[in-house]
Chains A and B, each alone.
Chain A
Amino acid sequence: EIVLTQSPGTLSLSPGERATLSCRASQRIYSNNLAWYQQKPGQAPRLLFYASSTRATGIPDRFSGRGSVTDFSGTDFSLTISGLEPEDVAVYYCQHYGSSPLTFGGGTKVEI
């Protein structure tokens, strides 16, 4: 089973600042098969990115995802929010796919 470790646990920033969230896998994730979700308070999760850096429909471009740029596999992934807005307050989860069992990271809470 691939274990995903997200850091930091909580990120407290001011509006307009840049947030960088990390997701580290215990084994290589091939084909950059990693997704990111946003869960706002009291809401269901929403897909932000798949294939580590492909933005889902309707996701603003202040959000960006990054995975391995060399061989489309790796263990370190990141999500960046450039120019935080109050509506970005949420918990962000990464999830790997492409091998069973699918697992989620523990989440990073973004506070403003």
Chain B
Amino acid sequence: EVQLVQSGAEVKKPGESLKISCKGSGYSFTSYWIGWVRQMPGKGLELMGLIYPGDSDSKYSPSFQGQVTISADKSINTAYLQWTSLRASDSAIYYCARQAIADDYFDTWGQGTLVTVSS
């Protein structure tokens, strides 16, 4: 079974750093792009960026370029989303999702990681 399992909920203070993870299983992790999608409270879905774990090639949506870092460790089938200095506006649920092999829709989603940034 194809699965993406994300790390647990986080509560952080403004200015702190954070790295959340997404572990893939049941498929060739290095052969599919992984995307990170933000969902702010009560709002819709926003693609933040993508990474290809096979060679760590990454792409960022314009709104998120420079705000976060997406990385992957193919030796442990895990993708990451990282912040160096969190803001309250980063409070959201973050989903990782696998892109289909031949097209750019997302065929498998992680369960989501809730990030709360509050002083």
Contact = CB atoms under 8 A, between A and B. Distances in A.
Contacts of A98: 103-104
B65 to A, nearest CB: 11
A77 interface: no
B95 interface: yes
A104 B45 contact: yes
Q: Which 8 A-B pairs have the closest CB atoms?
A: A97-B104, A35-B105, A44-B109, A104-B45, A50-B105, A107-B44, A106-B44, A101-B61
A52 B107 CA distance: 14
Nearest to A91: B44
Contacts of B47: 101-104
A103 B35 CA distance: 12
Interface string A78-94: 00000000000001010
A70 interface: no
Contacts of B110: 44
B93 to A, nearest CB: 9
Majority DSSP secondary structure for residues of A touching B: loop
Nearest to A6: B44
A93 B106 CA distance: 12
A102 B112 contact: no
A35 B47 CA distance: 14
Contacts of A103: 47
Nearest to A4: B44
A13 interface: no
B105 A95 contact: yes
B45 A47 contact: no
Interface string B76-119: 00000000000000000001010010011111111110000000
Given A44-B95, A45-B45, A45-B95, A102 B104 contact: yes
